[in-house]
Structure 1
Amino acid sequence: MKFILVAVLGLSVAGCANNDQYGTKETVGTLLGGVGGAVAGAQFGSGSGQLAATAAGALIGAFVGNQVGQSLDKADKQYAYRAEQDALEYTPTGNEVTWNNPDSGNSGTIKPVQTYQSPQGRYCREYTHTVYVGGEAQDAYGRACRQPDGSWEVVG
């Protein structure tokens, strides 16, 4: 069963461009997966049901984020980060950018699915990122906005 996480991979890829600053990849994946899962879970239910969905989403997201973090090495994350930046900057909505690490065999696809301007006037894009580790696919969803320096910041 595949879990769709809000920004799990996008955040972990962007955050791990300098892995030493953010700690181990498992820790980063766990924390960001938990946040992404909580955001995803909060979209369901109301009242105490929404709280339960948020908690469940956080737990599932933390677990899956940890597993993805364990699976991707620093080189994988650099390939994915470059592809993510290219996809967000240059790729038309609906088209895919692929990345591949020939040394690990891990790969992925990034597809912008919507482009819009935020209320603060920033240009933003929603995207999907599928990562293939050992033949297994993990799907993630993210949103990123262009920063003043031209790079893209994942916002959830």
Structure 2
Amino acid sequence: MTAFKTIIIALLGLALVACTQQQQDQSGIGTKTVLGGALGAAGGGLLASQLGGGATGIAAGVLLGGLLGGLAGNALDQNDREYMNQSTTSTLETSKTGQSGNWQNPDSGNSGTITPTRTFQRSDGTYCREFSQTVNIGGEVQQAHGTACRQPDGTWKIVE
């Protein structure tokens, strides 16, 4: 592979990472989606260049690789959310106020806790719980607070 092709692939990959990282806060795209997209773009561009693709082929490889890599990364983010949602539902349903529930994705190592902080009943009879939540993703800890109410079908819905 020529130095020119290597530089083009690197620049396209960096541009993709910069664009997706800038939009992450606004779109809700997770870190693993961004990383998967960047790695997929770099791999797709590299593969296309090694197969003798011209500039158009390399660009197509970068785009296709970025798309497929982003989809794979998003699936990992969804697994974290599934672990978190299962723990949240169980904790809101069965834990006493002040008693934390924990979750951990054994594949990613990401984890979190949810702690009900107050239980109350609305004037319409709906039971609600205020909670605090801590999430550790890749060593970065984030905290949030909210309120969830039990729906008529028994599920919990975050209302604020």
Structure 1 runs not aligned, ≥5 long: 1-25, 31-61
For residue 148 of structure 2, the aligned residue among 141, 144, 147 is 144
Q: Where in structure 2 are there 5+ consecutive unaligned residues?
A: 1-19, 33-75
Show CA shifts across 1:43-62 (max 9, x none). Answer: xxxxxxxxxxxxxxxxxxx9
> Is 1:66 aligned to 2:28, yes or no?
yes
**SS at 1:73 equivalent:** helix
Structure 2 SS opposite 1:86 = helix
Runs of 4+ in 1 over 6 A off after TM superposition: none
* Identity across the alignment (%): 47
- The one-letter code sitting in structure 2 at the alignment partner of 1:155 is V
Letter in 2 for 1:129: Q
Q: Distance in 1 between matches of 2:87 and 2:27?
A: 20
Q: 2:112 aligns with which of 89, 108, 115?
A: 108
Higher relative contact order (CA 8 A, sep 6+): 1
**Which residue, out of 64, 76, 79, partners 2:80?**
76
Aligned length: 96
Matching of residues 25-44 of structure 1 within 5 Å: none
Q: Which residue, 126, 129, 134 being the options, matches 2:138?
A: 134
How large is the RMSD of aligned CA atoms in angstroms?
2.3
Give the TM-score of the pair, scaled to structure 1: 0.56
